Amino acid sequence: MKRLLACAVLFAALALADGAAQSELSIQVREAEMRSNPSYLSGIVTTLSYGDRVRVLEEGSGWYRVSFEGDTGWVHNSAVTEERIVLEGGQEDVETGATDTEVALAGRGFNEEVESRYQSEQGLDYSKIDEIEASYDFSREELAEFMQSGGLEIGQGGER
Amino acid sequence: MRRQMRIARRLTIKCAPAVVALTGLLAFAGCETFGSIAAGVGVATGTLDRSEAQAVRDSATAVSRSFEDFTPEQEYYIGRSVGATILDQYETYDAEAVNRYLNKLGQSLALASDRPELFAGYRFQVLDSQELNAFATPSGLVFVTRGMLNLAESEAEVAAILAHEIGHIEHKHGLKAIRASRINTALTSVALTSVQVASDSEIAELTETFEGTINDITSSLVNSGYSRGAEREADRTAVKILRRVGYDPYALRRVLEGMQAAWSPDGPGYAQTHPSPQDRIDDVEDEIPDDATRDTTAPPARRERYQAAMGGV
């Protein structure tokens, strides 16, 4: 009986823990802007980084209202994942790593190391790719200005 | 450095409650139903030893993976190499005016897609080729040939071409071209799931899988082409994006008609890599209003910037 009770308590605790886990999301892109409203036209509250865990407060169409380290605002759903992304800051963190369906290891699998090996095996030149990535990085505000001056509307991201 | 410290701090904070939870679990080891949950919690927060982690790994490898399981970070590395492979076959056309314009236009269109955010964002690059062709890598790098741009006669038509490519990215068509067996290997490889730093032979094995992955995607992009179904999806997404921002969706039909006029089943570029433009028109016709009902007037500012950017192409 005692054991049954213990199991029941544990069940409840896990259910709670599970509920809490579901209301957290990880940033799955290099940088994501948290905005004051679910719109690319609204102000930037803060910039979130890859692997940051945000707490979900509300879900809107295509956007989540989240909180992170005291800031509250909206991020588009394509910037977040339900998976926990484990960043590997150093050797100790590497030791903690493993993967199941809920955990993704940042920097593992197809990464810089694999790319550089592939590059040397194939004799490919990545300098142009690097250059393209580093160029024409327009802010959302510049894009909004471009669209508005062309008599167009700035996109707000759809639902996935 | 500061960022690393921030990460380290958060990892530590995250660990504490999980350790408590795990201790609780061990105390109630009689509740065997919780075994798998316990393993998940412990590994995620760094409280399992190596053999336990191995057990988690074994259970992870038993799960069949699909292209949906690639993270945006993995898509990024796949896309970079697909891009480098394409640039091995095509020269870039680097005139500043047109590339700047294409990036402003394309990045704006991407914001109206269902996938506005990618690991490292969208980029657009003109290729110095007279083929009628465009390619999208899974990482968000879109290439368009000069020939394709010359086929367009307005900003809305260039937008239709770019929005179609964004459609391929939104639907992950590049990743869908990867052979299923390879996806499983890629996502369950030792180098990916090991608690240890990957060894040289593991990296070599993963690089081999990477090579196969890049080949699957580039051969689909450059040689065999996407299926008619994938093209239909990308065209329908293009219409959706054009509508959301206010371009005339008929622009897509105009582009397809221009391609159909230039189309030959054994010609280079687009002809080989896509279903016929007429097939695509048939597939998207119901989404595009009839010619007579459309408003063709574009504001002067839009026409002027289009002329200024495309003039030399």
Instruction: Please name the residues in contact with B105: beta carbons below 8 A apart, sequence gap of 6 or more.
Output: A146, B124, B155, B158, B159, B162
List Cα–Cα distances, B109 to A125, A147, B20, B224, B237, in angstroms.
29, 9, 48, 27, 11
Q: Assign B193 a pLDDT band (cuts: 50, 70, 90).
A: low
Q: Using one digit for the tens of pLDDT, what is the confidence trace for B147-175?
A: 999 999 999 999 999 999 999 999 999 99
DSSP structure string for A25-74: EEE-SSEEEEESSSSTTSPEEEEEETT-EEEEEEE-SSEEEEEETTEEEE
Determine, for residues A129 and B141 on separate chains, whether the beta-carbon distance falls below 8 Å: yes
pLDDT in tens, B20-65: 444 444 343 333 333 333 333 333 334 444 544 554 455 455 566 7
Q: A150 and B302: CB-CB below 8 Å?
A: yes
Tokens 């074994």 correspond to B58
Mean pLDDT over each residue of chain B, to the nearest integer: 80
CB pair distance less than 8 Å for A98 and B244: no
pLDDT band at A20 (very low <50, low <70, confident <90, very high): very low
Which chain B residues are within 8 Å of A136, Cβ to Cβ? 99-100, 103-104, 107, 123-124
Question: pLDDT of B264-285, one tens digit each?
Answer: 776 655 555 568 899 999 999 9
Q: How far apart are CA B190 and CA B195, in angstroms?
A: 9
Enumerate the residues of chain A whose CB falls inside 8 A of the CB of residue B203.
113-114, 117
Q: Which residue of B has its CA nearest to A27?
A: B119
Q: Which residues contact B214 (CB under 8 A, 6 or more apart)?
A: A118, B78, B81, B82, B85
Give the pairing type, strands A80-81 and A71-76.
Answer: unpaired
Nearest-by-Cβ selection for B117 from A7, A78, A90: A78
Phi and psi dihedrals of B229, rounded to 5? -65, -40
pLDDT at A106 over 70: yes
Provide Rg for chain B, Cα atoms: 24
Q: A1 pLDDT band (50/70/90 cuts)?
A: low
Distance in angstroms (rounded) separating the CA atoms of residues B256 and B152: 10
Within B62-171, residue ranges assigned H as helices are 72-89, 96-111, 146-151, 155-170
Q: Which residue of A has its CA nearest to B98?
A: A136
Which two three-digit tokens encode residue A105? Answer: 């290891």
Judged by CB atoms within 8 Å, which residues 66-85 of A form the interface with B? 76, 78-79, 81, 83-85
- Å between B271 CA and nearest CA of chain A: 26
- What pLDDT is recorded for position B192? 65
C-alpha–C-alpha distance, residues B219 and B273, integer Å = 10
| Residue pLDDT, tens place only, B67-115 | 888 999 999 999 999 999 999 999 999 999 999 999 999 999 999 999 9
Contact A138 B103 (CB under 8 A): yes
Nearest to B133 by CA among B30, B62, B223: B223
